[in-house]
């Protein structure tokens, strides 16, 4: 079950060209268990594209991503991945609770989201008060907190790929997020995160910089 925990996610020779511009070329790197990597670079440098490639949502023009020797993504092996892009990933016509239950079903963690979730102790982002309202009535901040709560459903040693998760977040939630990130890596999970204004005590293991196209 936890066989993926020791495997290394690595990429080699990644190149991407968008709209005629070369975003990055012959990128090599890896993400091992327990690592927190901060992905930085100027706007338009291709950070989101890079994350999407690592997530398996996009394909690079050249190079490949692998989990040890296996090709990636390989949905059969069930290596848990948590993706949080700019969009919230919440269906507007459902409620927060329905969305989270759907999310739990999608990742096949069917025993995870019990009907009375979240309880007080899991409610890291304070969503209980609006969890049953239709999502389209919620504010940006509330949506972001709901989206982040999806992380709480994640397998303990999963790979997390987070693109600007702090957007529209209030201070309390930011602190909660940082605690969550640290906890995740301490338990053997790993993550790559992009964030515009990291807090002062943000301490990633590594910083990966995309210089962008000149």
Partner 1 sequence: MRFFLTCLAADLRASLTEPGDILAQLGFFIMITALFVLAAGPESDRLALIGLAGLWMAALASMVPAFERLYEAEARSGWLDQLLVSPQPVWVFVLAKAAGYYISHAVPLLLASPLMMIWLTLPLALLPVVLASLGLGLAGLILLGALGAALTLGARRGAILAAILVLPLSVPLLIFGVLAGQAALSQAPVAPHLQLLAAAVLFLLVLMPLATGFALRTAAENG
Partner 2 sequence: MFDYLANPTRFMRLADYTVWPLRLIAAAGLLIGSWLGLASSPADYQQGDAVRLMYVHVPSAWLALSSYLMLGLASLFFIVWRHPLADIAARAIAPAGAGFAFLTLVTGALWGAPIWGTWWVWDGRLTSMLVLFFFFIGYLALANGFDRPERGARPAAILAMVGVLNLPIVKFSVDWWNTLHQPASILRSGGMAIDSAMLWPLFTMFAGLQAFFLLMVIQRMRLLLGQARLARLADQQEAS
Surface-to-core class of residue 136, CB atoms within 10 Å of its CB (0-12 exposed, 13-18 middle, 19+ buried)? exposed
Altogether, the residues listed in the chain come to a count of 214
2 binds, among partner 1, partner 2, none (CB under 5 to 8 A by kind): none
In the complex, the smallest distance separating the C-beta of residue 18 from partner 2, rounded to whole angstroms, is 9
In the complex, the smallest distance separating the C-beta of residue 52 from partner 2, rounded to whole angstroms, is 15
5 binds, among partner 2, partner 1, none (CB under 5 to 8 A by kind): none
Contacting residues for 175 by C-beta, under 8 A, at least 6 apart: none
- Assess 59 for contact with partner 1 (CB under 8 A): yes
Distance in angstroms (rounded) separating the CA atoms of residues 211 and 214: 7
- Selected from 32, 91, 152, 208, the binder of partner 1 by CB under 8 A is 91
- Assess 78 for contact with partner 1 (CB under 8 A): yes
- Asked if residue 5 lies in contact with residue 185, where contact means CB atoms within 8 angstroms, the answer is no
Question: Dihedral of the CA atoms 131, 125, 32, 39 (nearest 10)?
Answer: 100
In DSSP notation, 53-72 reads HHHTSS--SEEEEEETTEES
Strand partners for 18: 21
- Assess 81 for contact with partner 1 (CB under 8 A): yes
In the complex, the smallest distance separating the C-beta of residue 206 from partner 2, rounded to whole angstroms, is 27
In the complex, the smallest distance separating the C-beta of residue 208 from partner 1, rounded to whole angstroms, is 20
- Selected from 92, 156, 186, 211, the binder of partner 1 by CB under 8 A is 92
Residues that bind partner 1 (CB under 8 A): 52, 55-59, 73, 75-76, 78, 81, 83, 85-94, 98, 102-103, 105-108, 110, 134
């Amino acid at each position: 079950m936890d066989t993926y925990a020791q495997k290394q996610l690595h990429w080699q020779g990644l190149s991407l060209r968008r709209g005629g511009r070369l975003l990055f070329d012959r990128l090599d790197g890896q993400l091992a268990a327990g690592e927190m990597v901060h992905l930085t670079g100027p706007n338009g440098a291709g950070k989101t594209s890079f994350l999407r490639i690592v997530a398996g949502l996009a394909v690079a023009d050249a190079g490949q991503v692998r989990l040890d020797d296996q090709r990636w993504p390989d949905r059969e092996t069930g290596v848990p991945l948590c993706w949080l892009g700019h969009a919230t990933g919440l269906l507007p016509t459902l409620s927060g609770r329905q969305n989270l239950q759907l999310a739990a079903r999608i990742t096949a963690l069917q025993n995870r989201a019990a009907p009375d979730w979240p309880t007080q102790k899991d409610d890291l982002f304070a969503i209980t008060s609006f969890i049953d309202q239709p999502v389209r009535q919620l504010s940006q901040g509330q949506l972001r907190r709901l989206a982040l709560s999806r992380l709480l459903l994640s397998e303990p040693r999963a790979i997390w790929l987070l693109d600007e998760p702090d957007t529209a977040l209030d201070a309390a939630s930011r602190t909660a997020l940082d605690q969550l990130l640290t906890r995740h890596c301490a338990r053997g999970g790993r993550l790559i995160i992009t964030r515009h204004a990291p807090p002062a005590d943000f301490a990633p293991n590594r910083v990966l910089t995309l210089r962008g196209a000149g």
